[in-house]
C-alpha cells in the first residue's frame, strides 16, 4: 500500500481533482451570472460522450494516418460544444422561457445522463461491442510534458500530467482574472448580484446570462471528457460520470464562488476521493465513509457561510432568480 505522503498520492489527487475542477469552474461562471444550473452532471455526460465520439470518428475517418494530438483537439472541441449545447437548452428554458431553474437543471441532468449513455452504448453497438480509441490518442491523455517530467521529484510532481490538467489550471487562472480584474467580469458579477442595477447601468442582462451559462456549461463538459478519455482510457462505461457533476456543484459552495479556492478545493476533494487507497486503516470497509467527507465539508461550509454572513462569501444575491425588467 502506498504512503499518504508520497508523490504518488499527490499525483492521484491531481488526476482525480482535474475533472472536478472543470465542472466547478464552469458552474462558478454560470452561477456568477445568477443561473443555478443543476445540470452539471448531465453536461459532463454530454461532454464526455461527445469527446469520445469526436476522437473515435476522427480516427475512423483518418485511418492509420490519424494523429493522437489532432484527435485530442477534436475531442476537446466536441466536448465543449456538446456540453455548451446542453447549457444552451437550459438557458433558453430559464432565461427566455422563464422556467424554474432548479427543475430545468434536473431535467438537463436526466437528459444528459440518458444522452451520454445512449450515444455511448449505441456507438459501441454499432462498432460491434465497444469503442476504443487508438494507442496514440490514449497516450496524449496519459502523457506528461516531455523532458521536464524526467526531472527528479518536481518532474513527477508538476510536469507528469496530461494537457487537460494544465488546461484546467489555466482556466482557473483566467477565470479568476476575468472575474476580479476585468470590466466584463465586473459586469457579469453585477448581473448575478443585482440584475436590476446591471440593467439600469446599460448591461445586457440576457446576453451576459446566456454567454456565461453556455461557456460555463462547455467548461464543465471538459470534466466529463477528462473522465472518459483519461480515466476510462477512451472507453464508454455505463454511468461513468457517477455523481462527479454533483461533487462539482458542492465544490462551488466549498470554494465560495472563487476560482482560486476551487483550485485548492478540487485538489482536496480529489485527494479525499483517492484517500482510501493510501490510508492504512479501515480498509475497504470504511471507503464509503471517506467518500462522503467532501459532502460533509460542503455542508459545514454552507452553514458557516450562512451564519457568518460575510458578504464576500455569500452566493450571488440573485442566484436562482429570473429577471424581467417590466415585472419589478
Site for other proteins contains 16 (CB under 8 A): no
Compute the half-sphere exposure of residue 172: CA atoms within 13 Å on the CB side of its CA.
Answer: 27
Part in contact with other proteins (CB under 8 A); list of ranges 14-22, 138-146, 147-155, 201-209: 201-209
In the complex with other proteins, the residue whose CB is nearer, 118 or 154, is 118
Among 1, 147, 280, 284, binds other proteins (CB under 8 A): 284
Closest distance of CB 288 from other proteins, Å: 4
Q: Say how far apart CA 244 and CA 40 lie, in whole Å.
A: 9
Q: State the cell numbers at 36.
A: 443555478
Site for other proteins contains 158 (CB under 8 A): no
Question: Exposure string (b/e) for 52-79, b if CB count within 10 Å is 16 or more?
Answer: bbbbbebbeeeeeebebebbbbbbbebb
Part in contact with other proteins (CB under 8 A); list of ranges 60-68, 164-172, 218-226, 286-294: 286-294
Closest distance of CB 312 from other proteins, Å: 7
Site for other proteins contains 28 (CB under 8 A): no
Site for other proteins contains 200 (CB under 8 A): yes
End-to-end CA, the chain: 61
Site for other proteins contains 299 (CB under 8 A): yes
Site for other proteins contains 258 (CB under 8 A): no
Q: Say how far apart CA 23 and CA 234 lie, in whole Å.
A: 19
Closest distance of CB 157 from other proteins, Å: 30
Within residues 80-139, the interface with other proteins by CB under 8 A covers: 89, 92-93, 96-100, 102-104, 106-118, 121-122, 125
Q: Say how far apart CA 278 and CA 255 lie, in whole Å.
A: 25
Q: Say how far apart CA 33 and CA 36 lie, in whole Å.
A: 9
Closest distance of CB 3 from other proteins, Å: 24
Site for other proteins contains 292 (CB under 8 A): yes
Closest distance of CB 129 from other proteins, Å: 12
Q: State the cell numbers at 259.
A: 476560482
Closest distance of CB 5 from other proteins, Å: 25
Q: Say how far apart CA 33 and CA 219 lie, in whole Å.
A: 15
In the complex with other proteins, the residue whose CB is nearer, 154 or 303, is 303
Closest distance of CB 2 from other proteins, Å: 21
Find out whether 56 and 122 touch, Cβ atoms under 8 Å: no
CA torsion, points 324, 325, 327, 328, in degrees to nearest 10? 120
Q: State the cell numbers at 85.
A: 449545447
Here's the x/- map for other proteins, 134-153, by CB under 8 A: it reads as: --------------------
Find out whether 222 and 141 touch, Cβ atoms under 8 Å: no
Amino acid at each position: 500500500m502506498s504512503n499518504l505522503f508520497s508523490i504518488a498520492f499527490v499525483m492521484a489527487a491531481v488526476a482525480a481533482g482535474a475533472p472536478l475542477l472543470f465542472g466547478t469552474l464552469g458552474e462558478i461562471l454560470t452561477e456568477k451570472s445568477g443561473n443555478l444550473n443543476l445540470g452539471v452532471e448531465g453536461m459532463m455526460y454530454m461532454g464526455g460522450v461527445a469527446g469520445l465520439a469526436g476522437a473515435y470518428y476522427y480516427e475512423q475517418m483518418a485511418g492509420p494516418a490519424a494523429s493522437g494530438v489532432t484527435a485530442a483537439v477534436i475531442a476537446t472541441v466536441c466536448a465543449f460544444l456538446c456540453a455548451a449545447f446542453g447549457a444552451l437548452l437550459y438557458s433558453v428554458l430559464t432565461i427566455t422561457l422563464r422556467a424554474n431553474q432548479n427543475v430545468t437543471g434536473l431535467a438537463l441532468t436526466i437528459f444528459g445522463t440518458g444522452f451520454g449513455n445512449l450515444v455511448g452504448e449505441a456507438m459501441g453497438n454499432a462498432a460491434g461491442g465497444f469503442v476504443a480509441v487508438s494507442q496514440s490518442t490514449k497516450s496524449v491523455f496519459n502523457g506528461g510534458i516531455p523532458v521536464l517530467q524526467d526531472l527528479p521529484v518536481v518532474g513527477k510532481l508538476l510536469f507528469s500530467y496530461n494537457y487537460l490538467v494544465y488546461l484546467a489550471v489555466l482556466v482557473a487562472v483566467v477565470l479568476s482574472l476575468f472575474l476580479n480584474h476585468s470590466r466584463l467580469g465586473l459586469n457579469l458579477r453585477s448581473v448575478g448580484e443585482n440584475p436590476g442595477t446591471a440593467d439600469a447601468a446599460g448591461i445586457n442582462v440576457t446576453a451576459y446570462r446566456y454567454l456565461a451559462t453556455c461557456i460555463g456549461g462547455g467548461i464543465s463538459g471538459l470534466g466529463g471528457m477528462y473522465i472518459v478519455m483519461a480515466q476510462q482510457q477512451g472507453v464508454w462505461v455505463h454511468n461513468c460520470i457517477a455523481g462527479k457533476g454533483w461533487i462539482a456543484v458542492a465544490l462551488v459552495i466549498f470554494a465560495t464562488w472563487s476560482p482560486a479556492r476551487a483550485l485548492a478545493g478540487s485538489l482536496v476533494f480529489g485527494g479525499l476521493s483517492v484517500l482510501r487507497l493510501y490510508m492504512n486503516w479501515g480498509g475497504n470497509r470504511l471507503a464509503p465513509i471517506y467518500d462522503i467527507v467532501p459532502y460533509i465539508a460542503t455542508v459545514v461550509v454552507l452553514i458557516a457561510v450562512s451564519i457568518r454572513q460575510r458578504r464576500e462569501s455569500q452566493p450571488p444575491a440573485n442566484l436562482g432568480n429570473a429577471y424581467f425588467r417590466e415585472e419589478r
